[in-house]
Amino acid sequence: MRPVSSRTSGRRLRSRTALVALGVSLGLALPLGAQGTDDALLREATAQLQGLIRLNTTNPPGNELLVARYLDSLFRAEGIESQVYESAPGRGAVVARLRASAPAAGAAAATPLILMGHMDVVGVQRDQWTVDPFAATVRDGVLYGRGAIDDKGMLIANFQAMKALQRRVRAGVRLKRDVIFVGNADEEAGGDFGMGWLLEHHPGAIRAEWALNEGGRTRVMSNGKRYVALQTAEKVSHVVTVTATGPDGHASIPLEGNAISRLGRALAAIGAHREPTVLTPTTTRFFGSLAAAWPDAAEARAMADVASGDAARVARGATVLRAVPTLDAVLRNGISPTILEGGIRSNVIPRDATATLNIRTLPGESLDAVIARLTAEIADPLVHVTVTSRGEDSPAMSADNEFFAAVERAAKRLDPTITVVPYLSTGATDSADLRRAGYKAYGLLPFPLEMPDEERMHGNDERLPLTAFLFGIRFVTGIAEELALP
């Protein structure tokens, strides 16, 4: 662990002022003298998160064992049982465990809880960042770095929750269930060396009923109020290739049916295409619950319309919500072109050109049906749409159980005005593997973020305001306490 540079001392003072404002603005239920406690907690957690970010785990190649060993050292320093598992050279996972107290005679211990996150990060375009993406710079109360919110911040929040539970145990409080920390590898590239490998090779080390993972959101609305979108289901990610063919030749002689031009027309048709609106039980409840708290009156009415079950109202509401990409994306299958390839030289017309699409289908929706609709829109026999990688669906989780209720109680202890809703996430996470294996897995990004910061995930200048970081640590700790303490 590297200490925070002394050059950040002025920023710490600004951060301290921001923390005071956070407590006032959110109505945090802080015990007497908690300001000093929170300052110390934030200093420690920030230094730990900086340590994780400075370990470059861009996937590929991953190198997650660097972070696994770092986290293992933190757990061992706290006297918490920890084990590093190596799934491949340089790849692996760290699993730590707090064990339940012996149950009373005739009683059974509650089923275990997992707190999990992933240690790998996506790549960066260094020239597009205003800071070194792996320097973990703190500027004006904000921590910049690849992985700050996806997903190394979650790892440290989970570690701090484990540490808080350990303190309670040392003070004589009994744990009613095992709490297991899992730091995963390879989440950003499918999980073959991470959760999939753990489930196959070390299922006993992570056997549990409940799991809290990334995947949801804690969002700051335009009026400053917050809502928690707890992921109970997720879209399925697929990779699809669009290939256009045409005559090849010298570029000095333009040819009808040029493959690149043909591909351009196909992509224009794909861009104009919109998948039909489809409501799931999760999205119906999401919009119905959020409508009462949403600050924009027109959008709130649209949410109520979408949740109404009346076809005409649903269509009207979906039209309004189309203007909000994060809301529109949960109403339909999503199609995003991501890669273009074609040509070898500037004076050669290529025989073919390709585009890669990332398609995210709603639970239960058919990828083949999406491809059939795209093929009809393209309407060109020399353009072929093929599946490169087909994702696998996973079951949705209930929002009517002790886990959801625990999240809601923990959130409202921090902010009594907060709204907690079930959420169908557009991103794919390791929770899908767990759900298919019979775990009850839920997703949360515990840090309250405004949309400009949330949208930096996988983007340039990814960053985490330290006030949001503190909130998230306390939030995850509160959830763990709700589920693990008597």
Q: Are 384 and 355 in contact (CB under 8 A)?
A: no
Q: Are 155 and 467 in contact (CB under 8 A)?
A: no
Are 6-215+429-484 and 234-389 equal in CATH topology? no
Residue at token pair 């040392």: 170
- Tell me the pLDDT band of 112, cut-offs 50, 70 and 90: very high
Percent of the chain scoring above 90 in pLDDT = 90
- The mean pLDDT value of the chain amounts to 92
- Tell me the pLDDT band of 37, cut-offs 50, 70 and 90: confident
What is the model's pLDDT at position 35? 63
Mean pLDDT of 308-316: 97
Q: Are 399 and 231 in contact (CB under 8 A)?
A: no
One-letter amino acid identity for 52?
L
Q: Is 345 exposed, middle or buried (0-12, 13-18, 19+ CB in 10 A)?
A: exposed
What is the model's pLDDT at position 273? 98
pLDDT at 32 over 60: no
What is the model's pLDDT at position 31? 39
What is the model's pLDDT at position 12? 38
Tokens, residue 322: 């189309």
pLDDT tens-digit readout, 80-89: 999 999 999 9
pLDDT at 215 over 60: yes
What is the model's pLDDT at position 16? 42
Least confident span in 102-106, 263-267, 325-329: 102-106
pLDDT at 27 over 90: no
pLDDT at 7 over 90: no
pLDDT at 467 over 60: yes
Helical axes 297-306 vs 311-321, angle rounded to 10°: 140
- Tell me the pLDDT band of 18, cut-offs 50, 70 and 90: very low
pLDDT at 14 over 90: no
- Name the CATH topology of 6-215+429-484: Aminopeptidase (3.40.630)
What is the model's pLDDT at position 109? 76
- d(CA 244, CA 259) in angstroms, rounded, equals 5
- Tell me the pLDDT band of 33, cut-offs 50, 70 and 90: very low
CA distances from 287 to 17, 294, 333, 404 (A): 36, 10, 17, 17
What is the model's pLDDT at position 103? 81
Boundaries of every domain in the chain: 6-215+429-484, 234-389
CATH number for the domain whose boundaries are 234-389: 3.30.70.360
pLDDT tens-digit readout, 384-433: 999 999 999 999 999 999 999 999 999 999 999 999 999 999 989 999 99
- d(CA 302, CA 300) in angstroms, rounded, equals 5
pLDDT at 125 over 70: yes
- d(CA 422, CA 233) in angstroms, rounded, equals 8
